[in-house]
Amino acid sequence: MPSKRDYYEVLGISSTSSEEEIKRAFRRLAMEYHPDRNNEAGAEAKFKEVNEAYQVLTDEEKRSVYDRFGHAGLGANGGGQGFEGFETFGGLGDIFDAFFGGSGNRTRSGPQRGSDLAIELTLSFEEAALGTQREVEIDRSEACQQCKGSRAESGTSSVECTTCHGGGQVRRSQQSLFGQFTQVTTCPTCRGEGRVIPKPCSACRGIGQERVSRKISIRVPAGVEGGSRMRLNGEGEAGIQGGSRGDLYTTFHVKEHIYFKRHGFNLLYDLPINFAQAALGDTVKVPTLYESEELKVPAGVQNDMLLRLKGKGIQHLNGNRKGDLLVRVCVVTPKKLTSEQIQLFTELAEDLEKPDGNEQQSSWFDRVKDTFGSS
């Protein structure tokens, strides 16, 4: 087992040092090695060693024995209480309290902002795209109607706390290894407010608030998307001691539409047409979010071709510009034909030139050669 270091060496002082010099050395080393401040390996052991040396050298009788006989004269425990017996400091904050006469940054409680509330709102596709006004019912805290938030019974008021004399804090003097120090804590009587209520409000029992069910009107702007969130200032929980209200956050969910698919601020609509309309062209009516619009389908239109109706999409959020309605052509092949129709299609098939897949492939290779150059 390693031998103990000399106590004077531990504190970095001489054997003739005064009690004040011993205290100064201990304060410096305690700050350096206290476990709440120093996480390095071995810091706790050094702190125990410093504490033990301090307790021996500040005790007149133990110091005299140590000066004459060394560690052997003090017995196996060295005369110190060890780390567990060092109760002056509960943490790094207490060390600063002891050194500097209490924490100066503790303040009395005052007005506190109310908590925020959150709700979810499901909208139809049209409501999200065009905007709407919705009324919701929420449960929240508000100032007590009887005491108006004062927490005191009608006709009475709060009075200055006799424990802290209105300061919201109490000071307690305590002896430590450094001598006497003052600890500042929140007043237990008024809980830091500086005032107490002799006769609390009978309606809210001195809380100053009550739970109410309130209807809130929410203006949903045009163009909101599913998952987007909107804040309503001052519609949350009531504040404490005159503090401002919290906010109300609304998260939107949007139902799917039977016809339209949303892509940003554009809409996609699938338009079914038959073979004749695709070959000859046609003018058809297309539904939009606003009203039906006529759309000219060009002759020879191909399946999956996109046609565009400008400004018939969704309005940009907080703006006047609108997206477009993209109409995707879907050429529908008939599943059942009458004998007459079969005859007509047969005659038509004989007259129509069949697409040449090889010719199309050759043409595609020619375009590739033109693009990248022939080898």
pLDDT score recorded for residue 87:
34
Of the options 2.10.230.10, 3.65.10.10, 2.40.30.60, 3.40.50.720, the CATH number for the domain spanning 117-254: 2.10.230.10
pLDDT tens for 207-247 read 888 999 999 999 999 999 999 999 999 999 998 878 889 99
Question: Between β-strands 209-220 and 195-196, what pairing exists: parallel, antiparallel or unpaired?
Answer: unpaired
Given pLDDT bands bounded at 50, 70 and 90, which one contains residue 352?
Answer: confident
Given pLDDT bands bounded at 50, 70 and 90, which one contains residue 353?
Answer: confident
pLDDT score recorded for residue 120:
95
In the CATH scheme, what is the homologous superfamily, with its name and number, of domain 261-351? Urease metallochaperone UreE, N-terminal domain (2.60.260.20)
Q: Rounded mean pLDDT of 317-334? A: 91
Given pLDDT bands bounded at 50, 70 and 90, which one contains residue 362?
Answer: low
What's the pTM value of the predicted model, to 2 decimals? 0.57
What's the topology of domain 7-87?
Helix Hairpins (1.10.287)
| Distance in angstroms (rounded) separating the CA atoms of residues 343 and 205 | 91
Which has the higher per-residue pLDDT, 316 or 102? Answer: 316
Give the number of other CB atoms < 10 A from CB of residue 134. 14
Query: Where are the domains positioned within the chain?
Result: 7-87, 117-254, 261-351
pLDDT score recorded for residue 177:
59
Q: What is the 3-state secondary structure (H, E, C) of 222-238?
A: CCCCCCCEEEECCCCCC
- Percent of the residues in the chain that have a pLDDT greater than 90, as a whole number: 41
